[in-house]
Amino acid sequence: MRRNKELEIYIHIPFCVKKCDYCDFLSGSQDEATRKIYVEKLIEEIRTHNKRNRSIHNEKVITVFLGGGTPSILEKNQITAIFDALRENFDVAEDAEITIEANPGTVTAEKLQAYKKCGINRISFGLQSTNNEELNLLGRIHTYEEFLESYQLARACGFNNINVDLISAIPKQTVASWEETLKKVIVLEPEHISAYSLIVEEGTPFAKLYGEGCPGEHDLPSEEEERAIYYRTEELLEKAGYHRYEISNYAKKGKECRHNLGYWERKEYLGIGLGAASLINNTRYKNTDDLLYYMEHASDLSAIQENVEKLSLEEQMEEFMFLGLRKMEGVSVDEFENTFGKTMEECYGEQIQSLVQQELLKQKNGRLLLTKQGIDVSNYVFGEFLMACQY
Amino acid sequence: MAGIDQKKIRNFCIIAHIDHGKSTLADRIIEKTGLLTSREMQAQVLDNMELERERGITIKAQAVRIVYKANDGEEYIFNLIDTPGHVDFNYEVSRSLAACDGAILVVDAAQGVEAQTLANVYLALDHDLDVMPVINKIDLPSAEPQRVIDEIEDVIGIEAQDAPLISAKVGLNIEDVLEQIVEKIPAPTGDVNAPLQALIFDSVYDSYKGVIVFCRIKEGSVRKGTNMKMMATGATAEVVEVGYFGAGQFIPCDELSAGMVGYITASLKNVKDTRVGDTITDADRPCEKPLPGYKKVLPMVYCGMYPADGAKYQDLRDALEKLQLNDASLHFEPETSIALGFGFRCGFLGLLHLEIIQERLEREYNLDLVTTAPGVVYKVHKTNGEVIELTNPSNLPEPTEIDYMEEPMVKAEIMVTSEFIGAIMDLCQERRGIYQGMEYIEETRAVLRYHLPLNEIIYDFFDALKSRSRGYASFDYEMLGYEKSELVKLDILINKEEVDALSFIVFSGSAYERGRKMCEKLKDEIPRHLFEIPIQAAVGSKIIARETVKAVRKDVLAKCYGGDISRKRKLLEKQKEGKKRMRQIGNVEIPQKAFMSVLKLDEKK
């Protein structure tokens, strides 16, 4: 008998009321009719997975993450239909963590109650800032007050696992204005807080405003200020009972996001919907990000799957390191050996020694983890594990 | 083929100032004589090096044989040898000339006689060639053929009244040129039955045929099976094939005899056995003495060349050997640098020569190179009376051991239209030039004479000259000898460590300025590290300039794009890829570009 494997599922909803000026995720505003067809196609894709892929069918789904875009833009019956299809075709564990991303201003009591019925037990609110001027600058459609309303509503509907997304280092932000945001969120006592530093991504309106050589370039906090904000974040949140478990993620004990941890721990996950990425059987692939094409071919998996890459042993090791090290607890030396049949030492001895010497990594209780300085320059640290292994 | 009448052969070359249309005329001659149809013609047939076409210059001498049916009803065999125009390649020019009996002098109908026109004519006259002028570009609105004809007669002193007035570009009056070649270029002389005496004027390496020797048969004949001997190296080999030059191809024939130009292949193992300028004879029936050959040229500019990938050291050596085979002016010897590892100290005729060799190594031999700042040969007089010729700044003795130093000077002639005289004089002044005089060749054009230190002109003097005269000035120089000078070694320290590959010798009065520019340039080229990196310029123990590369405080990817790990991996790989092309000095990674950037210090001018 085959043992049940664990599987995570990500479902992408590429729609927003309006795309934010810094966002480079796959999303955009689309009319109701398009959204309706998309949901139908999404359900077709879910069904196809069942028919086509036996190995997935045998697996137990431990987390579901409905992300976007803004999934909460969908009607409650659309969400219900998606979950009905999901449960018909996959074996979702009873204690699965099921998250939906929601934007303040797009949720109603009816929607929240419907979520509850679907088994959704975690809500992730994209707040970003409690300062309305900052929200406006980011191109967000909601105010802090609207967020408060949505948040309270979710609490009233019985959601006891809520995340609040925040963005730091936005133009003209000061340590003081950031502290205010943090403090206002802390008093609400969400179970989880994600605090990302803004990255000005190419191709976004922000890149034209704040990119290199652009007029607003100097409105962005300097590297030093950005780091000060980051250090302050940990200090304040730690004091309030949140521990940092990943570079940008903080949670109360036991409330870490299992779905995201799965990414860092290389758990298998299936991405459903436009542009969704998957890792199945050490093969990575992505669905097409062409909306019209997706809607035409959603039930033909081989047509929509792109960039299929079978990971070599070496690539798997690299991922183990550069993904695992994002977690504050780092990577386990034993687990590496159990997984790959080679010791971490023989694969990366030289790199580790040098990084430990530079005080970017440290060893503790059989684990290897980033130091405080290591976090600041983590890309450099991760880079050292690429194309380095001789095996 | 043995029956070719010597009287029907014309061996000639085309000489001209750069851009006066030498290669275009060669193309037209080839096209008119029907060697290639115009459809097959590719612009500049003889410039078959990719680099030559791109830069629009001729670097290597090229030869081609064509058949021309003249107005007298006879068929003539033309051997046309194309030559380079730039001063750095005078050596190549003189080699080609030795294979010819006459030269076509191309002069631009608008620009008239230029510095290189004169220099090349003198070279041709040195080789006893008959010079036949041709006025090109008469289709230009600014063409003044009669003025140029008069100028040729006045300045050069050769008969030019009946010079063909042509436009090589549009193919106008090319027939006149062909007829005059028959009339004015003398047929070769030489005894077909005398012992073999042939001059090697070039050679190339072919991976199928091995070494291919280009030669001019002066006396006797050579055929397959001849047991040939190189008189200077003493190497002997049996001739495998002889032939002549088609357009872009080698065409075998039975025999090459006195007066002919062609190629020889033989079972020669070692590329060093065939030295350009050497004389080939018949080992079984040798001639009495070798031909005069060429004046040995000494490299004037030196720099270090290192393979970017240390494992390619042997490949670089092989490539340099092959290039040296037909470029005797290229000089190299092994050296090591703390910063760059194993490489070669190479000697060149000038900066263009250096650039060309570098590009050929990169393109034709697929090598990635790191080049150090070029320098000249300094004479260091030590207190113990010893004199050393310094080609590598790293070998400079301790200051206490140095009595004084000398640097090479050149005698420069700059031809310029009167409106730019002031600008050019300023330039020469900045470059420590000593004014020697000026004379007007005609109303609006003058020759300026200066004595200049060679190390002031090897960098970018030529470019500066062109930009300050809007391209009108031309420049020629010859070595003058050594003069005592105040010279210092400028060292660059990166993160407090001296980088030997960046050291160079400089006039003490310019040290501060150079040091400052070096630091600025390096600051832009060296990526930020996890720690702060001071970049310092020092003379001895004295720091004269400093810049700082700030430390990276932050390099974090906050968000991870859902499960799209491939995207993250690509970002990391891109970052890693950039590092591969860097050199590790101490704990600083220096991009190879940084070593090269200091070559173009004055770019912003």
DSSP string, B351-374: HHHHHHHHHHHHHHS---EEEPPP
Which pLDDT score is estimated for A201? 85
User: CB-based contact (8 Å) between B552 and chain A?
Assistant: yes
3-state helix, strand, coil in chain B (%, to 5): 30, 35, 35
Mean pLDDT on A80-109: 94
**B476: Cα separation from own chain's centroid:** 14
3-state helix, strand, coil in chain A (%, to 5): 45, 25, 35
Which residues of chain B neighbour A223 with C-beta distances below 8 Å? Answer: 552-554
> Is the pLDDT reported for residue B61 higher than 80?
no
Beta bridge partners of B413: B449, B476
Which pLDDT score is estimated for B40? 45
Structure tokens at B303: 């720099």
> Is the pLDDT reported for residue B579 higher than 90?
no
Give CA–CA dist B82/B62, Å, rounded: 5
C-alpha distance from B595 to closest chain A C-alpha (Å):
24
Is B223:B242 a contact under the CB 8 Å cutoff? Answer: yes
Which pLDDT score is estimated for B67? 86
Which pLDDT score is estimated for B604? 45
C-alpha distance from A76 to closest chain B C-alpha (Å):
24
> Is the pLDDT reported for residue B110 higher than 80?
yes
User: CB-based contact (8 Å) between A201 and chain B?
Assistant: no
Which pLDDT score is estimated for A4? 66
Split at pLDDT 50, 70, 90, the class of B247 is low
Structure tokens at A15: 């729609």
Domain ranges of chain A: 6-264, 313-383
Which pLDDT score is estimated for A99? 97
> Is the pLDDT reported for residue A52 higher than 70?
no
Among chain B residues, CA nearest to A382:
B572
Mean pLDDT on B264-285: 82
Among chain B residues, CA nearest to A286:
B564
Mean pLDDT on B252-265: 90
> Is the pLDDT reported for residue B232 higher than 90?
no
C-alpha distance from A234 to closest chain B C-alpha (Å):
14
| Contacts of residue B392, Cβ cutoff 8 Å, sequence gap at least 6 | B302, B304, B335, B345, B375
Angle at B19 between CA B38 and CA B50, to 5 degrees: 60
> Is the pLDDT reported for residue B124 higher than 90?
no
Which pLDDT score is estimated for B39? 43
Would you list the DSSP string of A53-119?
-HHHHTSEEEEEEEEES-GGGS-HHHHHHHHHHHHHHSEEEEEEEEEEEE-TTS--HHHHHHHHHHT
Backbone φ/ψ region at B125: left (φ over 0), alpha (ψ -120 to 50), beta: alpha
Lowest mean pLDDT among B129-138, B283-292, B526-535: B283-292
User: CB pairs under 8 A, 24+ apart, for A139-147?
Assistant: A139/A18, A139/A19, A139/A20, A139/A21, A139/A22, A139/A205, A140/A20, A141/A17, A141/A18, A141/A103, A141/A105, A142/A103, A142/A104, A142/A105, A144/A184, A146/A104, A146/A105, A147/A104, A147/A105
User: CB-based contact (8 Å) between A379 and chain B?
Assistant: yes
Which pLDDT score is estimated for A367? 97
Split at pLDDT 50, 70, 90, the class of A389 is very low
Q: What is the CATH number of domain A6-264?
A: 3.80.30.20
Angle at A73 between CA A257 and CA A134, to 5 degrees: 75
Would you list the DSSP string of A209-227?
HHSTTSGGGGGSPPHHHHH
**First and final CA of chain A: distance in angstroms?**
33
C-alpha distance from B545 to closest chain A C-alpha (Å):
27
B566 to A307: CB separation less than 8 angstroms, yes or no = yes
For the stretch B556-571, pLDDT in tens is: 876 655 678 888 888 8
Residues in chain A: 391
Of B5 and A288, the one with more pLDDT: A288
Is B167:B128 a contact under the CB 8 Å cutoff? Answer: no
Split at pLDDT 50, 70, 90, the class of B363 is confident
| Peptide bond between residue A254 and the one before it cis (omega within 30 degrees of 0) | no
For the stretch A342-359, pLDDT in tens is: 999 999 999 999 999 999
Mean pLDDT on B528-535: 92
User: CB-based contact (8 Å) between A336 and chain B?
Assistant: no
Average pLDDT, chain A: 91
Q: Mean pLDDT: which of B32-36, B62-66, B431-435, B574-578 is highest?
A: B431-435
User: CB-based contact (8 Å) between B387 and chain A?
Assistant: no
B562 to A67: CB separation less than 8 angstroms, yes or no = yes
Containing H/E element for B35?
none
Could you report the predicted ipTM of this complex, rounded to two decimals? 0.83
> Is the pLDDT reported for residue B418 higher than 90?
no
Split at pLDDT 50, 70, 90, the class of B605 is very low
Split at pLDDT 50, 70, 90, the class of B59 is very low
User: CB-based contact (8 Å) between A383 and chain B?
Assistant: yes
Which pLDDT score is estimated for B547? 94
Which pLDDT score is estimated for B248? 64
Which pLDDT score is estimated for B41? 45
Angle at B574 between CA B571 and CA B580, to 5 degrees: 145
Mean pLDDT on B352-373: 85
User: CB-based contact (8 Å) between A10 and chain B?
Assistant: yes
- In B153-192, the residues whose Cβ lies within 8 Å of chain A are none
Average pLDDT, chain B: 83
Give CA–CA dist B100/B221, Å, rounded: 17
For the stretch A213-269, pLDDT in tens is: 888 888 999 888 999 999 999 999 999 999 999 999 999 999 999 999 999 999 999
A379 to B575: CB separation less than 8 angstroms, yes or no = yes
User: CB-based contact (8 Å) between B75 and chain A?
Assistant: no
Name the residue among B56, B32, B38, B34 with its Cα closest to residue B46. Answer: B56
**For chain B, what is the radius of gyration of the CA atoms?**
27
Q: Write the residue in A197, A284, A319 that is nearest to B558 by C-beta.
A: A197
Is B578:B528 a contact under the CB 8 Å cutoff? Answer: no
B565 to A227: CB separation less than 8 angstroms, yes or no = no
Q: Is B120 exposed, middle or buried (0-12, 13-18, 19+ CB in 10 A)?
A: buried
Q: What is the DSSP letter of B471?
A: T
Give CA–CA dist A266/B115, Å, rounded: 72
B554 to A223: CB separation less than 8 angstroms, yes or no = yes
Classify strands A331-332 and A60-68 as parallel, antiparallel or unpaired: unpaired
> Is the pLDDT reported for residue B423 higher than 80?
yes
User: CB-based contact (8 Å) between A177 and chain B?
Assistant: no
Beta bridge partners of B335: B343
User: Amino acid identity, residue A290?
Assistant: D
- Phi, then psi, of A238 in degrees rounded to 5: -60, -45
Classify strands A305-310 and A331-332 as parallel, antiparallel or unpaired: unpaired
Which residues of chain B neighbour A263 with C-beta distances below 8 Å? Answer: 560, 562-563, 565
> Is the pLDDT reported for residue B85 higher than 60?
no
Look up the CATH architecture of domain A313-383.
Answer: Orthogonal Bundle (1.10)
Above pLDDT 70, what percent of chain B?
88
- pTM, full prediction: 0.65
Is B368:B307 a contact under the CB 8 Å cutoff? Answer: yes
Taking one residue from A and the other from B, the number of pairs with CB-CB distance under 8 angstroms is 94
A378 to B560: CB separation less than 8 angstroms, yes or no = no
Mean pLDDT on B2-27: 81
> Is the pLDDT reported for residue B46 higher than 60?
no
> Is the pLDDT reported for residue B596 higher than 80?
no
C-alpha distance from A1 to closest chain B C-alpha (Å):
30
Mean pLDDT on B197-219: 84
Give CA–CA dist B103/B125, Å, rounded: 9
| Contacts of residue B381, Cβ cutoff 8 Å, sequence gap at least 6 | B387, B402, B403, B404, B405, B406
> Is the pLDDT reported for residue B126 higher than 90?
no
Q: Which of A7, A128, A280, A379 to probe the B interface (max B CBs under 10 A)?
A: A379
